[in-house]
Structure 1
Amino acid sequence: MTSISGYSSTTTRVTGLVSGLDVDSIVESLMEAKAVPLNKLEQKKQLAEWKQDAYRQVSISLKAFADEYFNYSNTSSNMLSQSTYDQYTLTSSDDSVVGISTTSSSEAGSHTVLVSNLATAASYKSSAVTEVISADSAADFTQAAGKAFVLTIDGTEYTVDLDENITDLAGLQEAVDEAVGSGKIAISDTNGDGTGYLTIEKAAGSGIGTITLSDAESSGALETLGFSGSGNLTNYLDTSETLADIGDQLGFSFDSNGYIGLTINDVDFEFSSSMTLEEMMEEINAADAGVTMSYSSTSDSFVLAADQMGAGKTLDISETGSTFLQDVGLTDYTAGEDAAATIDGVKYTRSENSFTIDGLIYNLKAESTETQSVSLTQDTEAVLDKITSFVEDYNTLIDSLNSTISEDYDRDYQPLTDAEKDEMSENEIEAWEEKAKTGILQNDTALANLLQNLRTALYESVAGVSTHLTEIGITASSNYTDKGKLVIDADALQEAIATNPEEVASLFAQQSATYGGTTTVVNLTSEQRKVRSSEEGLAYRVYDILQDNISTYTGIDGHKGILLEKAGQEGDGSEYDNTLTSQINSYEEEIEQMLDKLADKEDYYYEKYSAMETFINQMNSQIDSLLSYLE
């Protein structure tokens, strides 16, 4: 809070030299009296800031409650969703064969399922396209002695040392087996007698995927074994290479214009030789051809599969001018198949492996000759826990709001001036300000209306719903000091959930038939709101009331939530556009004006005392002059 020094002039003053008066102290005393209105204005500004903070804290509490219980992204506790009240324990005799999940229309019960066929998508698949790593000249084992090379298998590096004892193909195979383990890598030559060009590939049944050859610290081992480096040193394709380079490797040709021309499900494609394989696949997958093309480096193979599963013509592909499909081996066609399952004795054929029958979603996972049993058992405990958590957190919110408006406000504890703070310790200041903030929203009308609206909303009947909150074991506390808090009879509530789950769900989560949804509430007139409120469940009513106070959307009346209009919310446009911020800005303008006036007043006092000093000095000079004549 501004002190005298906050408005003092910066002019250098020399005072009291002649009169002997402590002019600074006199002026300071005079200014302290003049500063009383300034201090009061500073206190008003501080109170407005504290009140703004208090409102914002309430808004934060309301928003946290709304985010927890009225947010569709929070599926575990959204009280607006019917599924919150439809909780089931799901079981399957073999979940690896068939799984189940619920919809809003699911009902408890048991079912039998026989999965005779799974749905598949039509596809073209190739076998391994690079197959082996081949040398381009004969090995010179004498020159290779003392060198080493690296075999990288599925990302793990193994160093193969070549000593003078390795003189033939068998010795090289033994060295590789020692380095990487036997049964992984098979080495042969093109002549079959050890005199041809070496080839390296996965051993049959090894289960390994990618293989890469490289020299160990540039030893030159690969060149002595016939791998000059100009050939391919991997057993898989690098999809970042151009189609031209991959064409050289696999042997496919382009059309006369240098393109690969494909037609897939009546969609035409042209891929230039300068395009990478990765870019080619991305273009196919992003188009409207309804297919996905992929290449696996592990299996070194291509797959072109229809996006739509099931039987029927879902994949049609042809090539014009180029030989890509033929030379990469994308010619092995497998037709799509429909899923077939017998559920409760009735056979169902579907194009997908997941489908809904009588409100229950069946997820087929594997074919089986055994009939599976699945069941849904109502989980009343889960629903009870959700409603109980909602009520408990509602009570906590109500208790906090009641405390906020019922706290006594002590007007003897006003914001401290800077002078008062100078006389106090930090702990004393903190204790004082805590007391000064207490009860700052005592009897606040907006919060009192919020509490009253919440109490009313919970006890008015819901159109079309025969039950009432009190009939499912939730009543208002009989203790007057609880002021609207709710009490749960757990046994009665659990019985209501078990015997009449639809009514319990509707009591809380029924949407208004006339004005449904969550985003419409701020755009309704008062008459429309009455209709909506009468038709909707209790959770929706509480949601609406909270939005009346904390909505960040501008409603039909041109305003946001009541509390945001009063105090704003950080991160929202209302942060600087609200009633209290305008009031604080107004106080700041008045304070600046008053500081200017006080500075002028202080200068006025000093000027008067300076004039007095000058006059006294003149008088003293005249007296001295007269006295000199008398001597």
Structure 2
Amino acid sequence: MATISSLTSTSSSSNAYGSQSKGIGGLVSGLNTDELIDGMTASTRSKIAKQKQNKTLLSWKTDAYRAISDKLVSFANSYTSYSSGTNLYSANFYSRSVITPSGSNSKYVTASGSVTGGQQFTVNGIKQLAQDANFTTTETLSDNYIQTEAVNFGNEDISTILGKAFIVQYGDKQYTAFMPPKEGGGPYTNAEEVAKGMNKALENVDIGGNKTLASVMNVSADGETLNFKNTSEAGNALKIVNGDAELFKSLGIISGSSTIMDKSITSAGLNALAEINPDDLKKETTFAERMKGKSLSFEYNGTRKVITFNDETKLNETDFKNYLQDELDTAFGKGRIQLTKGSDNTFQFKTVLPSGAEDKSSVLYVSSSSIGITGEGSVFGIENGSSNKLNLTTTLDKSGLKGAETAGLVDGNEYEITINGESIKIKYEKDKTSLKDIIDAINSNKNADVNISYQTNSDSFSIVSTQNGASGSVKIGARDGDGNITQLNELEQLLFGKRKADGTIDSSNKELNGKEVKGQDAIILVDFDGEGGADATEISRSTNSFNLNGMKIVANGTFGYQDNGSGVMEYVGGTEGIKFSAGVDTEKVIKAIKSMIDEYNTLVEDSNAAIKEKRDRTYTPLTDEQRKDMSESEITAWEKKAKAGLLLGDSDISSLANDLRFVFMKTGTESNQLSDIGITVSSNWADNGKITLDETKLKNALQDDPERVKDLFTEDLKDNNLMTGGVMSRMKAITDKYAATVGATKGKLIEKAGNVKSPSSMLKNALLTEMNDIDKTIKKYETKLKTERTRYQNQFTRLEVVMQKMNTQSGWLSQYSGQ
């Protein structure tokens, strides 16, 4: 027998009016109880659906209001906001900001800023320009060539592990390290050297936090066996996870046909499986084998070319020099880089001109190479970055600085460089100190008041005072009371002193390699009366920039003065002076007004279209059930019609459209009309007050009388009357009225529908309040619907029980009626 709870269905779905039961109906009565209940609750479900449609309409209406308020807010932000670069509401936007110098000598100045009618002055002459004190070396500092070590064209043992990779995982990240050249060159010969090399490789890998792999991993040698330790203080997991299999076999980490996959390294250490066999660390090769397929990259005056040594027949002592020269000629042009081979098999790369003369201005770098071609113990024995100019980052003896190897600097000694009486101490370490170290030490000493730099193309040091004009000086070396140099020590002579013809240092010579230039102020002669009147005044500044009564004048040449024969510059009477006139930046103003009018016309069109668009009330928001029977394109088309005309005749938008119509109507006096400056209202009433612009008229008005244009746009309203004041004063009043985004009371459209530019309005506005009220009503009806369904469901359940009992009794009676 069926249970009571199973006598009616309990599943549900939804229709046009809300949720409904769905099942097989009464099992005893045969009634479709689902349909009966739906019919009996139709009124309530209809009310729920209607409320949801009303809420959808309000949501659409909110979007329609915001579409217009967005344009108003954007307009205000662009043309009436003081933070905008196109603020047409500000009188300053129309100021005379373009200053024009005039006269035959006007080319010697540039001017900017602002000037009023009372500021009439003349620059009668420019006596001298400002310059900062400076010192620049005049003789070239470098040897102007790149010199290799002696090249071995015979057989040579090379490292089998050089450049090979091993991959370390630290924590959850993997890092790749490469075996570097052995310190001192040549192949690795034992476990201790290999351990040093691996630790150096780890130092070259950055893992973040100012740390390298060497800070978390260490390699040591126990006899000929390598040991790896995790030295991480953080306790992160450390593993060797992959790399070059031949490298691992040579180092005894794996053996036979094994491949490295996962070697965990703990703080206790990981020992290699086998000892290192020194014979596995090297192999004998010919010069051709060392060079075949390898590459060497050069950069010449910014152009980078790669030379690859593919022709094995020329990789020998006899042909190699010509082979490399031909490759350089092909890469950079003939007669640009000259290659010379020394009797000791060294090679020299030198920049020259096609005529054969030395080219001291061109810059040549060895930018990169294959492993084993450059670097310590390599074929050429030079570092990547080697140049025919100075290398600032390598040690002094390898920097290319003339005389560095014979300067007599003693390792470990402290030297002083004296500039402007300030002693700058430099500790010289032969294997560490670089030109960059010295430059950094000078620049970081603020008391010296100078900045030094190396100029690559001119191959010179430039020292410039950080004090402008006559305040600064650059005096190198110890001086006596008369300012004469009393001493240049070895380091000062190396950097700034005169050299002998062979480039070596002359310790007895105290003469500098260059000239100290004094700082001087700029001096101009200004007549503040403009035409004679009071005597002109000489004005000096530490730079070439002068601020005179709000106007900025920058001098870029001299005129009006000449040497009187005694080295004194005197003014030449009768010299034509430079006068200044100010005008409005017409292009900037016209561009802003044109853009403003375009946006205004869009506002007029959109607001009028919104209140005139008719609504077809046969198109209402779709219910969920209706959507199920429609395609996406059909839904889109339906909703487009349903959204049309939502603001038809809306009082607020109608008021906005009416206010906009009169913004550009008659303003000012009869003799001061907008039409006079090229701004006219369309005579077609259907245009609802759209504006046209005559740019030529506007430009002429801005040039002839910018004050008049400014007044027509910015004159204040009288008693908040939109028929008074300037155009932008009216527009600001309108945008504030309808779309103000700040304040206790915001614009009408913002109060009604909110706007993202006013975050608080998104949480509280009139339409949102209405939608929240609808949600409450929907919730009330849904509670009522649930109660109705439960009541009807219980009633039908009782009916099924009664009928089940009656059927049982009928069956029992029928059993005895036949007896």
Do the aligned partners of residues 574 and 182 (structure 1) sit closer, same or farther apart at CA in structure 2, a change above 3 Å counting? same
1:571-611 residue CA offsets vs partner (Å, 9 max, x unmatched): 76347413234543443454345334323422322221122
Aligned pair partner of 1:578 in 723, 741, 764: 764
Moved more, 247-256 or 430-439: 247-256
- Residue 35 of structure 1 deviates from its aligned partner by 0.8
Q: Give how far 1:619 is off.
A: 1.8
Whether the 8 Å contact between 1:407 and 1:439 is mirrored in structure 2 is yes
The Cα of 1:448 is off from its aligned counterpart by: 4.3
Alignment equivalent of 2:608, drawn from 402, 413, 417: 402
Whether the 8 Å contact between 1:7 and 1:599 is mirrored in structure 2 is no
User: More deviation in 396-405 or 415-424?
Assistant: 415-424
Alignment of structure 1 residues 505-520 onto 2, 5 Å: 505-509=710-714
Change (3 A) 1:422 1:159: closer
Q: Match for residue 305 of structure 2? A: 157
Match status 1:65 vs 2:252: no
TM-score (norm. length: structure 1):
0.70
Q: 2:731 aligns with which of 512, 532, 542?
A: 542
| Counterpart Cα distance in 1 of 2:428 and 2:794 | 91
Alignment partner of 1:387 is 2:562: no
Out of 353, 372, 376, the position equivalent to 1:218 is 372
Q: 1:237 to 1:247 in 2, by over 3 A?
A: closer
Aligned to 1:414: 620
**Equivalents in 1 of 2:776, 2:540: separation in Å?**
77
Is 1:438 matched with 2:644? yes
Asked whether the 8 Å contact 1:414–1:436 carries over to 2, the reply is yes
Residue identity in the other structure for 1:568: G
Offset, 1:615? 1.3
Q: Equivalents in 2 of 1:99, 1:595: separation in Å? A: 82
Rounded to whole Å, the distance in 2 between the matches of 1:87 and 1:207 is: 44
- 1:612 corresponds, among 799, 806, 815, to 799
Q: Deviations over 1:551-580 (max 9, x none)?
A: 55x43x3x5555444333347634741323
SS at match of 2:731: helix
Task: Report how far residue 398 of structure 1 moved.
Answer: 1.7
- Structure 1 residue 50: deviation in Å? 0.7
Given the superposition, is the C-alpha separation of residues 313 and 290 from structure 1 closer, same or farther in structure 2, using an over 3 Å criterion? closer
Pairing 1:40-119 to 2, within 5 Å after superposition:
40-70=50-80, 75=85, 80=90, 82-83=92-93, 100=110, 102-105=112-115, 118-119=129-130
C-alpha spacing 1:70/1:23, structure 2 compared with 1 (3 Å):
same
CA pair 600-341 structure 1, distance change in 2 beyond 3 A? same
| AA in 2 matched with 1:310 | G
Q: Return the alpha-carbon distance in structure 1 between the equivalents of residues 762 and 625 of structure 2.
A: 30
CA contact (8 A) 1:83 1:104 kept: no
Please state which structure has a larger fraction of its residues in helix. Answer: 1
How far residue 616 of structure 1 moved from its aligned partner, in angstroms, is 1.7
Are 1:336 and 2:519 counterparts? Answer: yes
Shift of 1:235: 3.9
Structure 2 spans left out of the alignment, 5+ residues: 1-12, 156-285, 353-357, 479-486, 498-511, 561-574
Residue type of the partner of 2:359?
Answer: G
* Preserved contact between residue 222 and residue 228 of structure 1 (Cα < 8 Å): yes
* Distance change (3 Å), C-alpha of 1:83 and 1:281: farther
Does residue 228 of the first structure (1) align with residue 381 of the second (2)?
yes
Task: Please report how far the alpha carbon of residue 465 of structure 1 lies from its aligned counterpart in structure 2 after TM superposition.
Answer: 14
Q: 1:313-332 to 2 correspondence within 5 Å?
A: 313=472, 327-329=494-496, 332=514
User: Amino acid of the residue matched to residue 731 of structure 2?
Assistant: V
CA gap of 1:312–1:597, structure 2 versus 1, over 3 A, is: same
Q: What do the CA deviations read for 1:71-90 (whole angstroms, capped 9, x no partner)?
A: 67875786647456769797
Could you tell me which of 344, 348, 359 is aligned with 1:205? 359
Unaligned runs of 5+ in 1: 513-527
1:159 is aligned with what amino acid?
Answer: I
Output the amino acid matched with 1:611: R
Question: In the alignment, which of 556, 563, 568 is matched to residue 754 of structure 2?
Answer: 568
Q: 1:613 to 1:568 in 2, by over 3 A?
A: same
| CA shift digits 1:440-472 (9 cap, x unpaired) | 23344444454555567666978x999454664
Per-residue CA deviation, residues 58-113 of structure 1 (Å, 9 max, x unaligned), is 13322443455456787578664745676979799999966746544489x9x999
Q: Deviations 1:217-253 (Å, cap 9, x if unpaired)? A: 635799798x534798334566667999989996898
In structure 2, how many angstroms separate the alpha carbons of the residues matched to 1:242 and 1:536?
Answer: 75
**Residues 40 and 58 of structure 1, relative CA distance in 2, 3 Å threshold:** same
The answer on whether the counterparts of 1:169 and 1:194 sit within 8 Å (CA) in structure 2 is: no
Q: Percent identity?
A: 26
CA distance, structure 2, for counterparts of residue 532 and residue 616 of structure 1? 82
210-219 or 93-102, larger mean C-alpha shift: 93-102
Instruction: Assess, with a 3 A threshold, how the Cα gap between structure 1 residues 247 and 362 changes in structure 2: closer, same or farther.
Output: same
Letter in 2 for 1:607: N
CA offsets, 1:25-46, max 9 Å, x none?
Answer: 2222223222122112101211
Residues 1:474 and 1:234: Cα distance change in structure 2 (over 3 Å): closer
Contact 2:296 2:368 in 1 (8 A): yes
1-structure distance, mates of 2:490, 2:365: 27
Amino acid at match of 1:233: S
Q: Which has the higher Rg, Structure 1 or Structure 2?
A: 2
Q: Distance in 1 between matches of 2:461 and 2:396?
A: 14
